[in-house]
């Protein structure tokens, strides 16, 4: 799918570039705007990368086409982006943390009376697995290797402070509780059935782990910043994306003298592919679509993908090698993902997990 998206994108680029070729000049075509503005709605864990690369794209676009472009950036958690779109935010391009939410948005969109999907095509921008993050001292003390260890630790009465983003607001929180429930049920997420979620044993295991929660953040990227700001006394172990660990590990070491490390759950992890979609919406005009398609190509360019790695993301462009100077134990992560990569649950199970989690979450935790 990625290669197909890249090929389609470059085909669009080639056609439009012909229109702006030096021999024709940009003024041959009537109606060319002097400036294009388009809104890009995306998730917080990508914020550092997107904010760094966007000014470079705007400069490149002007040099290439002689048109000023202004990318209006709007950042929030995945669920919040969906709600924003459904309630009138009107972005041109959208990038949630995972493509598992695209059918979800399309279904909600059609329930509003629309006949066509809001998202018809998308392309992964970067890849990052869901991991268990904790302070190195805590990991060494309890030898945490996965969610089974956390559940057993909680059942044995060991007091520790746990957390993850709110699954009703954030994709990172959703993948966290999916992995909690699949571990408790002893099944991979794609094998889960709704009935598995309501067994006494599964409910008790997840509720026991969730009883140790001290914080539910609104987005995964913001959660990592909160953990580093508040330190080991505030939270011991939490579930985020791998890139959040890379972004915050050295900051944590400098501030607290203790490093953040990523634990790749032995039960398996879920990969988050951060799709980029130009919305099939009535508010998107041809020039906004053109500029947004160029932004996609720019984000997939090897230089942009290399920059994404500096922010902790694995490249989606297969021609870009993984940077060993970034993905290493010194930064709290591994070069290779050496645990099973799991498939997400069905839409029915996913919606049921969000409902059941609200019953077993720690009721004393607001944020």
The rounded average pLDDT for each run of 10 residues, N- to C-terminus, in the chain (367 residues) is 44 42 40 94 93 98 97 92 96 94 91 95 96 96 97 96 93 95 97 96 98 91 90 96 92 95 97 97 96 98 96 95 95 96 89 94 87
Determine if residue 88 is left, alpha or beta; phi over 0 gives left, psi from -120 to 50 gives alpha, anything else beta: left
The domains of the chain are located at: 2-126+273-315, 127-271+329-360
Q: Which two tokens stand for residue 252?
A: 């944590």
Query: Which residues partner with 137 through β-bridges?
Result: none
Sheet strands (E) in 91-159 = 93-95, 123-124, 126-135
The single-letter DSSP state of residue 24 is T
What pLDDT was estimated at residue 170? 87
The predicted pLDDT at position 16 comes to: 44
Question: What is the reported pTM?
Answer: 0.84
CATH class of 127-271+329-360: alpha beta
**What is the spatial distance between Cα 223 and Cα 225, in angstroms, rounded to a whole number?**
5
pLDDT in the model for residue 103: 87
Is the dihedral angle over the CA atoms 286, 291, 296, 300 positive or is it negative?
Answer: positive
Confidence at residue 20, expressed as pLDDT on a 0 to 100 scale: 42
* Residue 274 and residue 93 in contact, taking contact as beta carbons nearer than 8 Å: no
CB-based contacts of 51, cutoff 8 Å, min separation 6? 73
How many whole angstroms separate alpha carbon 322 and alpha carbon 313?
A: 9
Token duo for residue 205 = 């295991």
Q: What is the pLDDT of residue 291?
A: 98
Q: CATH classification of 2-126+273-315, choosing from 3.80.30.20, 3.30.470.10, 3.40.80.10, 3.40.190.10?
A: 3.40.190.10
User: CB count, 10 Å around CB of 315?
Assistant: 21
């Amino acid at each position: 799918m990625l290669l197909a998206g890249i090929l389609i994108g470059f085909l669009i680029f080639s056609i439009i570039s012909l229109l702006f070729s030096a021999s024709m000049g940009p003024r041959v075509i009537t109606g060319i705007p002097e400036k294009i503005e388009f809104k890009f709605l995306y998730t917080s864990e990508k914020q550092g990368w997107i904010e760094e690369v966007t000014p470079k794209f705007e400069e490149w676009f002007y040099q290439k086409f002689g048109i000023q472009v202004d990318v209006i950036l709007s950042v929030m958690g995945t669920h919040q982006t969906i709600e924003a779109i459904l309630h009138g935010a009107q972005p041109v391009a959208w990038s949630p943390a995972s493509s598992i939410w695209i059918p979800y948005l399309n279904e909600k969109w059609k329930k509003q009376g629309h006949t066509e999907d809001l998202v018809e095509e998308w392309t992964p921008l970067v890849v990052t697995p869901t991991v268990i993050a904790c302070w190195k001292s805590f990991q060494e003390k309890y030898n945490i290797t996965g969610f089974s260890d956390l559940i057993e630790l909680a059942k044995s009465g060991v007091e520790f402070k746990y957390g993850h983003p709110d699954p009703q607001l954030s994709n990172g929180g959703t993948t966290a509780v999916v992995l909690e429930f699949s571990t408790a049920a002893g099944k991979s997420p794609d094998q889960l059935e709704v009935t598995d979620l309501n067994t006494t044993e599964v409910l008790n295991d997840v509720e026991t782990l969730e009883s140790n929660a001290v914080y539910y953040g609104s987005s995964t990227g913001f959660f990592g910043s909160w953990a580093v700001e508040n330190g080991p006394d505030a939270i011991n172990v939490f579930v985020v994306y791998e890139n959040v660990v890379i972004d915050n590990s050295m900051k944590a070491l400098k501030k607290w003298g203790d490093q953040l490390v990523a634990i790749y759950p032995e039960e398996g992890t879920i990969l988050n592919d951060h799709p980029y979609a130009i919305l099939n919406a009535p508010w998107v005009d041809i020039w906004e679509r053109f500029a947004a398609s160029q932004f996609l190509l720019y984000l997939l360019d090897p230089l942009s993908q290399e920059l994404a790695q500096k922010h902790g993301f694995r490249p989606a462009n297969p021609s870009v090698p993984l940077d060993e100077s970034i993905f290493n134990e010194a930064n709290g992560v591994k070069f290779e993902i050496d645990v099973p990569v799991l498939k997400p649950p069905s839409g029915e199970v996913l919606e049921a997990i969000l409902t059941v989690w609200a019953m077993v979450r720690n009721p004393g935790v607001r944020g």
